[in-house]
A and B are shown apart, each in its own frame.
Chain A
């Protein structure tokens, strides 16, 4: 196993913000850290990186305690940061030198990523008239472009382990696709990636293994497909031309959601769904849509986080 995190804990005063979290990355790929705001995702990542002291636990990389000074780790922080008044090239060369990348290599890598992340016009502004354009500074870029530069900084050392804290938040759809492509490329290149996110669809697209954190505790953990399977095919979507409220009530089914696209119902399993389908057919209802499937990650997340919120309220 490459990364093993065991019993990671952190308390701020009396409040436990990370409560004995354990997980591991056995092979290259993306591991997702999910959770509501304040669930302890960023604190966990900071403790793994060693920039925040942990109360207990162990973080091992290839069998040794993870030390970011010794291991090539790339990090995209949740709170984005660049020097606002320094030129982009100067600060990227500085970041590269701190990661022990030679100036020559750094320049080659920067040029590659500048092109890949579509930042050429900011690093090499076009010449207007006879005046040579001044190198651009970070505060002259939009938020999305600053985020791209920071991803570039995280990738500049060609890291083995990449930690991305909310990498896609605040991006427009075009740049989000670009980031996703880059993450896919990194996975294909055999990188280990830990990613925290609120965007469940994106996580489903990338990640095989997940941890859902709620108030510092891992409420769901494991392989995403297995988690879904464990829930079973309990989500039923029905759309008919005629009203079916009386049938739903008679069957004792719980309505989860009602939209113009249909009604989402919770069933106990395949048998109950089949019985309801028989009732629709025998009742001569015109069926437009009938679907039985596993819950989505979004649904699992909302259910788990929601349950905990309800528990606490009680």
Chain B
């Protein structure tokens, strides 16, 4: 029975996958990464809350003994002794005194006093449509500025809560009322549905939220590519330096050997990244359930807050397929480069030296995509640069997924970029496999650029006996 060139790929995949999962180093790294993902959110939130005025149950003491209130707002429903009722127990409320004295009289008094006294003056400026809540203190008073800030936040919250109670609306309704209303113009032909009309200069750039989204995708792609590249190269060099490859090549063709490894490494890298994301999401839910006493369903809602609200995620199912294909092809492209590099070296030490060229390509790809994105946020017209980067196989795996996800690039251009990337991957695959066939000959020798050309043209070996 004639076997295909890929015969044995599954066996290589199974073995590589199981051995990598069994490796102590891998397990240790995975646990470390998962722990980091799990602990990052709770720790950062705790630090943040402490910095903002302590934990939920901690009462912040202020240096204010007495707070005079002069209310000239005309808001009769406002209860200035409401602080406790509004659940603002995070700060120790000073003694509230509703004063009959005028504003001027009280300010004169404050000028002279060295007691911990402050004045809250509430008034309404009809022309501006604004209520002013002004805190006043004397220069000799021991009241600290930070205490006034705390008090100011507390007043703002209580006013907001009492206003909503008074008009009888919920927080959700308030959020709807506060929503921005924007108008836009869309093309009406089928190909351009959803694409905004380029009415002004601002629409050429990207907003902060899109920038963050694209940056996250670039970072994830970089992680995927660098981790898989490192695994592939170390796996190949290990087989080469331990001479196992000579035995393997009697049972399996080089291309199947490479393909099996790459598939296993891709799955493992993906598993690591997905595990990290899941752990992070779980930590967010657990944190809010435990620390804030939220219902689990509400805590799940907190996860969506990490997706920027202003990002235009209108990606179609085809777009999703293209995006995934791009990530796969990009990883394959860089993994094969690592495969070629690893096939041409003898030892791990030599590989570290040779991997500089991979690192350089990785940097070109990543920083190329990032530079264009940064230029975009500055409002520059990067249309041509975007097109070049989307078609160039070194930059396209970093740029296209993020841009496609945030609807910054057309599906047609992404498909052309993908086609080019696949063609490169195909040739690289053939080249990497041929390198493998020659690795015994080159064992222990550094390959020069012309050697690679010779291998590619098959000048030195003649026809393979198969």
Contacts and interface: CB of A to CB of B under 8 A. Distances in A.
A95 interface: yes
The 5 closest A-B pairs by CB, nearest first: A81-B243, A53-B461, A98-B251, A81-B244, A50-B465
Given A51-B437, A52-B441, A84-B242, A95 B251 contact: yes
Contacts of B261: none
Given A52-B440, A53-B437, A70 B3 contact: yes
Contact of B243 (A46, A80, A95): A80
A293 B226 CA distance: 69
Interface in A75-91: 75, 77, 79-86, 90
B242 A50 contact: no
Contacts of B248: 95, 98
A153 B246 CA distance: 13
A34 to B, nearest CB: 21
B85 interface: no
B169 interface: no
Contact of A68 (B15, B245, B251, B441): B251
Contacts of B246: 46, 51, 75, 77, 79, 81
A81 B242 CA distance: 5
B11 interface: yes
A243 to B, nearest CB: 54
Contacts, number: 101
A86 to B, nearest CB: 6
Given A49-B250, A73-B250, A83 B243 contact: no
Contacts of A12: 441, 460
Nearest to A93: B15
B1 interface: yes
A49 B461 CA distance: 15
B274 interface: no
Interface string B449-466: 000000000101111111
Given A59-B465, A75-B247, 7 more contacts: A12-B441, A53-B462, A53-B463, A54-B463, A70-B2, A81-B243, A94-B11
Contacts of A56: 462
A80 B463 CA distance: 27
10 contacts: A49-B250, A51-B246, A52-B441, A52-B461, A53-B465, A65-B466, A69-B251, A70-B1, A79-B243, A154-B247
Interface residues of A, number: 40
Among B246, B440, B441, chain A packs the most CB atoms within 10 A around the CB of B246
Contact of B3 (A48, A69, A77, A95): A69
Interface in B235-249: 238-239, 242-249
B243 A69 contact: no
B288 interface: no
A95 B244 CA distance: 10
A55 B462 contact: yes
Interface string A29-40: 000000000000
A140 interface: no
B41 interface: no
A99 interface: yes
Looking at A47, A49, A67, A97, the one whose CB has the most chain B CB atoms below 10 A away is A97
Contact of B11 (A54, A81, A98): A98
A85 B238 CA distance: 10
B367 interface: no
Interface of A: 12-13, 46-56, 59, 65-70, 73, 75, 77, 79-86, 90, 94-95, 97-99, 150, 153-154
Nearest to B16: A94
Nearest to A13: B460
Nearest to A50: B465
Nearest to A86: B19
Given A86-B19, A98-B8, A98-B11, A69 B466 contact: yes
B123 interface: no
B408 interface: no
Interface residues of B, number: 38
A162 to B, nearest CB: 11
A69 B253 contact: yes
Contacts of B126: none
A212 to B, nearest CB: 24
Contacts of A75: 246-247, 250
A84 B19 CA distance: 12
Contacts of B464: 50, 53
B27 to A, nearest CB: 13
B121 interface: no
A41 to B, nearest CB: 14
Residue of B2, B7, B247, B253 most packed against chain A (CB within 10 A): B247
Given A70-B2, A83-B242, A97 B11 contact: yes
Nearest to B434: A53
Contact of B465 (A54, A77, A82, A84): A54
A94 B15 contact: yes
A82 B438 contact: no
A53 B2 CA distance: 20
Contact of A51 (B3, B238, B440): B440
A46 B440 contact: yes
Nearest to B254: A51
Contacts of A94: 11, 15
B465 A65 contact: yes
A98 B441 CA distance: 24
B299 to A, nearest CB: 42
Contacts of B7: 69
A282 B466 CA distance: 68
Contacts of B460: 12-13, 53
Contacts of A99: 251
Contacts of A49: 249-250
Contacts of A95: 247-248, 251
Contacts of A47: 465
B372 interface: no
A150 B243 CA distance: 11
B252 interface: yes
A68 B11 contact: no
Nearest to B461: A53
B23 interface: yes
Given A73-B250, A86-B19, A98-B11, A50 B466 contact: yes
Contacts of B438: 53
Nearest to A52: B440
Contacts of B8: 98
Given A53-B437, A69-B3, A90 B19 contact: yes
